[in-house]
Amino acid sequence: MFRLGCAAILVLMFAIPAIAAHYLPWWGVIVVLIAEVFVLLRAGPALIKYGAKRVFLRLFLTKSRVLKGAKVEVHEVRLTDRPVRRRQLDAQAQASGERREEITAADGTIVTTPVGPETGENAEDDGESDEETKKNRYVLVDFALTPKPGGGVMQFYDPGELLLVPFNARISLTEDPTADGVSASAHDLTLINESGAETKDFDKLTGPSHLRVTFQCPQSLRGRVKFRYYFEAFGDLTLPGDG
């Protein structure tokens, strides 16, 4: 539909001056051309914005369809502390004479940095202020995710893009699911293989997966929720109360 609309606009751009040249004097054709330029300058940015929006919308629709009708088996849901995975690199410290630590980010990125005498394994440096702590709860969800076969053109999905939203939340193609402040984003992810081994060093997945994800939940997100992946929603679980 969008391509047909663009084609129709191009046809009109050339057809109108041609018709004007057949019925109007030369100065009338110039007036028509000036009017066309004026309309394009006024409407062009809006048309470009609309076209870009349509392209991105189609892209995210395609990405989301990989988890359309996905099956979720929830094994555990519980409150947890904000994940801070920090460990001292003893071997490297002994070799260089400098105390260093390894910090694993939520996306699995590992960064090695020097530490002072008051930091290390027992340091309480999580980078979150007391005010931010009051606004959020952290909920660990252990679950098995099984995409529906033939769900879409794309076969890979990014579990880091999973959200928890209220169970009765409506999926809108025009609204940001995080704009209302009642959705929970994935803060820390762990992939568990069939033998029970755990890893945080992974990117996109395909097929069934066993995941343990810590979601950063706003205090307003309570009770029954579901998973959301772009424009698809699935699953059914209940967040634990404070206690």
Q: How confident is the model at residue 116 (pLDDT cuts 50, 70, 90)?
A: very low
- pLDDT computed for residue 181 by the predictor: 73
Question: What rounded mean pLDDT belongs to the chain?
Answer: 75
Please state, as a whole number, how many other Cβ atoms lie within 10 Å of the Cβ of residue 2.
11
| Domain spans of the chain, in order of start | 2-60, 69-83+135-238, 85-125
Do residues 139 and 239 touch, judged by C-beta distance below 8 A?
yes
Where residue 58 falls (left for φ over 0; alpha for ψ -120 to 50; beta otherwise) is alpha
Q: How far apart are CA 218 and CA 227, in angstroms?
A: 15
The residues pairing with 71 across neighbouring beta strands, listed in sequence order, are: 146
69-83+135-238: which CATH topology?
Elongation Factor Tu (Ef-tu); domain 3 (2.40.30)
Q: How confident is the model at residue 151 (pLDDT cuts 50, 70, 90)?
A: low
Q: How confident is the model at residue 121 (pLDDT cuts 50, 70, 90)?
A: very low
Q: How far apart are CA 164 and CA 206, in angstroms?
A: 20
The 8-class DSSP code of residue 33 comes to H
Least confident of 119-123, 137-141, 178-182, 187-191: 119-123
Task: Tell whether pTM > 0.85.
Answer: no
